[in-house]
Structure 1
């Protein structure tokens, strides 16, 4: 019997217990190096576990629904050289294939592959029933969430995964009222169910302290849309559900203010076109100049390169820029690391590579971590201004709209200039309006005269 080698999950950043959503190979399959074996989907990204070498898959160690971490064994592979010397390789693989694809295995895997339900859990998973009066949309309000300043500091936010937060929201549960039983006080789905059970036993939904400090919102409206015409229901993608939960949290918990500014990029655009003509193998977009300008702004105004951590402000000495990328499954924000150490052409090449990875669902969790400041550019689509939502734990995000030729007074006459609209959303707990105005003004100056980047 030839020696079989293990294919393991590579470095996937800080993620642990990432679920398998697709098994791409079966015993007997011939794989090449870097070919995907299984697909994992974390809270932040979808990624494939690649084959570490050429060979023949002899055994698949996981199934859909299993949770893997770095170092977990995915499959046993016979290296190509040894498999080639073994003429009966496929014949030996058949019994394993039958075992892998027996009806019982498929029946177990199928429920795991379905999209997460939007309604409450089935009775067998806990004490909560979909028709429970306390949870029914037409009955008492969901528990209000207290928005006092102390509770909104990042160090005081309940410790729970996005999936648990989504589950709690569906049941109208304030996680601030739930005690976590998992390691480090982390709140689990079972903790939420136990809390709901205790509330029901007490005769109604719990409310936060008196004084009207909570939002105390009325239930979300329930509408039978089909009464008004033909409809089609389409489940949200996992990325949409997770990003939606993060955006809702960030919008609710961060006091957003947006500062607007126009930058004269007439000379910058002329230089960009010349640079593109000289380097036809590299696509140079205006975004690379925005990255360099943002880095310069973060260096000049350190508060924008910071994060809140409890009662402390963490000032970062590195410059990683997140770039919002629109994909068919939703918005993702991969990170370009050490942007201060890279030239325009280097940034252009990396930006093209990471954008392609995002669209092809090849981003790893590590590609999405460590950002200091984000840029969301809608210039290729249109618009004149918008209010981007801050990507916590960052404290600011720059929105970019489509540039337009406008008449600008130069002291003697109106001259046509190419103006780029900028929209800076910032966390007012960390940054005040004057600092935001100075930051956007500085960005405008740098984009208007790139020589300032040399200062």
Structure 2
């Protein structure tokens, strides 16, 4: 076979372990450069991953739900011209699993010749199922067996679980029928092409195939090692034709993990009875039975579960299930993906951050007059200043004056530290038909008000068009949520963790202000500053708000 082209996840900004929510290709598809391969969804954006090469898809290495990072392998392609001419060769006759040594020289000869591509080999109604392509791995231990002689299995049913030093993978059956022989046992080490089971297909006569009475394992392996796996490692193990799922600190096979997900069981809470502390399917079943019997919610302590069910105040009450249709006509519409994801983050931030909001009015009479004058002077050039651009520039100066606002809390084990940032990236909330998104103006301290106005306009347009990428929405130090185009007076914006503060502004309004002699009309901007009280106390937050109002009242102070 010609050299395969590997297509990986490109630069997706600061995001890591992003879930795959949709796949657009399968083995055998012919694709062109820039054709969409998959859709990824972070907590801030949804993005399609384009193909960097053209050809025929030979392997798809991820599944929906897998988490990937920059550099993770997605698919393997064969160039279109080479695809038609290439056929997978069989390994040399009389060789072992790696083709490096005659079978006669092996201490324990394998039951049959290995197949290079794995899969099934037919022998008079008996189908031999071998280890498929598992990438560059060899001598991988068998850590779990799911079948025994006499079992009836279907295509893609899991036969065994293998565990390398980087990943855990289930081996699916390439044939359906009755298992006649299981040719491996726990602890055996196998490679691509090694025989696992013999299956009698439904159409074959029910006659046993005579095999050698003495069968020794291919390699006399010891107990299977365990490994802690990072999300990016999935790229190292091709998933075709088997589905590769990654392990975590809890040791369990992919099929057991899928079973636990279906039942809603937290594997971290399940008592493991398998070898080397592995969680078995029976363990998950026993855990769920126990939860149903005792009434304890899986993953919660009995006290928390009691609080959830009885309103004891130890946990949140369960969400009420109401049949709204009995009260009148209803219409059900699904939430957009953006609202689902942002909702989860907002709920977390609202519950976990002890936030306090401080209000202040900024006199922007002179600033607004200056903005109108400059826009009139630049009418022919098309350049336009917005009030948001001035607020961003003033916020940068305030962050420089009060560096505690340009920080983030960071946990290192049990120790909590404060990270002071030396850069000034300002995010602003943009309203779109699908929900709220938060693009970021990078290095705002190095940009003029004109440049900031131009960049916010371009980012807002990308947001409305649904074309914001991860890099456009990452790295913020401070967020501004402006409702000036809508109205209102004051509100309490929610801090966007890991930031420690957020500024909300409403529509400016004329107010009578006492100048020492008389009341005069002044244009005022309502400002609402929400801060994380763990980092910023009330006095500091008030000083920040007052200072920001002074900057907007006399913008010359920004240059000081």
The answer (yes or no) to whether the contact 2:357–2:530 under 8 Å persists in 1 is yes
1:380 corresponding residue in structure 2 = 485
Cα distance, 1:17–1:312 mapped onto 2, change above 3 Å:
closer
Q: Radius of gyration: which is bigger?
A: 2
The Cα of 1:392 is off from its aligned counterpart by: 1.0
**Distance change >3 Å, CA 35–CA 379, structure 1 → 2:** farther
Matches within 5 A, 1:220-299: 220-277=319-376, 278=378, 280-299=381-400
CA shift for structure 1 position 217: 4.0
Is contact 2:404-2:536 (8 Å) kept? yes
Q: TM-score, normalised on structure 2? A: 0.56
Provide the secondary structure at the position in 2 that maps to 1:319: coil
Q: Indicate conservation of the 8 Å contact 2:18/2:41, yes or no.
A: no
Which structure's relative contact order is higher, taking Cα pairs within 8 Å and 6+ residues apart? 1
Deviation at 1:396, TM superposition (A): 0.7
Inter-partner Cα distance in structure 2 for 1:283 and 1:29? 44
Paired residues for 1:14-413 under 5 Å: 14-21=15-22, 23=24, 27=29, 38-50=38-50, 52=52, 58-59=56-57, 62=60, 65=64, 67=66, 68-71=68-71, 72-74=73-75, 76=77, 181=250, 192=266, 195=269, 197=288, 200=291, 203-205=294-296, 206-208=302-304, 215-277=314-376, 278=378, 280-310=381-411, 311-413=416-518
Q: Which residue of 2 aligns with 1:156?
A: none
Corresponding position of 1:9: 9
Return the alpha-carbon distance in structure 1 between the equivalents of residues 35 and 389 of structure 2: 31
Alignment check: 8 A CA contact 1:335 1:370 kept = yes
Give the strand-richer structure, 1 or 2: 2
- State how far apart, in whole Å, the 2-side matches of 1:191 and 1:16 are: 22
Measured after TM superposition, the shift of residue 209 of structure 1 is 11
CA distance in structure 2 between the aligned counterparts of 1:271 and 1:36, rounded to whole angstroms: 48
CA distance in 1, matches of 2:65, 2:326: 41
List per-residue Cα deviations over 1:286-338 (Å, max 9, x = no partner).
Answer: 11111111111111111111122232222222111121122222222222221
**What runs of 5+ residues in structure 1 fail to find an aligned partner?**
93-160, 162-178
DSSP 3-state at the match of 1:207: helix
RMSD over equivalenced CA pairs, Å: 3.7
Please give the alpha-carbon distance, in whole angstroms, between the structure 2 residues aligned to 1:251 and 1:289. Answer: 29
Residues 369 and 412 (structure 1), Cα distance of their counterparts in 2 relative to 1, 3 Å cut? same
Moved more, 190-199 or 228-237: 190-199
Cα 1:198/1:363, change in 2 over 3 Å: farther
- In structure 2, list runs of 5 or more residues that go unmatched: 85-230, 232-247, 270-286, 297-301
Query: What's the offset of the Cα at 1:237?
Result: 1.9
Could you list the per-position Cα deviations for residues 103-144 of structure 1 after superposition, in whole angstroms to 9, with x for gaps in the alignment? xxxxxxxxxxxxxxxxxxxxxxxxxxxxxxxxxxxxxxxxxx
Q: Does 1:447 align with 2:545?
A: no
How many residues are matched?
A: 355
